[in-house]
Amino acid sequence: MSMTLASGKAVFHCEACRSRLVKRDSSLLHKHLRQDVYVCSNPLCSASYSGHTEITGIASPSGVPNAPASDLPPTPSYQRAVHERSMRAAQNRDQLDIFDSQPLN
């Protein structure tokens, strides 16, 4: 089975005839794991394949106030963004404010 990107979507192709696969069924196995069944779109072939769709990490936090914390680990890019935000906040505390009303001596 191969995969290509068509208009931003991942498209799987049948190994036997290279026709596009269509998702026919999907069931939840765990709150972060789905079992998927794909069928070849070529009616003469009709091969079927199974696979998994898994959510493995949190890429950004929810914007909903008081949202519960995720039990997923943060992705490396999310960890980097949190670290950069805290570094910027620390640097901004040391930065003089040009609108500070206190005169310099």
Q: What is the pTM of this model?
A: 0.62
Q: Is the dihedral of CA 69, 71, 75, 80 positive or negative?
A: positive
pLDDT at site 64: 92
pLDDT at 7: 62
Q: Give residue-wise pLDDT tens across range 20-40.
A: 999 999 999 999 999 999 999
CA dist 49 and 36 (Å) reads 8
Q: How far apart are CA 61 and CA 70, in angstroms?
A: 8
Contact (Cβ atoms closer than 8 angstroms) between residue 39 and residue 24: yes
Start-to-end Cα distance in the chain: 73
| Residues of the chain with confidence (pLDDT) below 50 | none
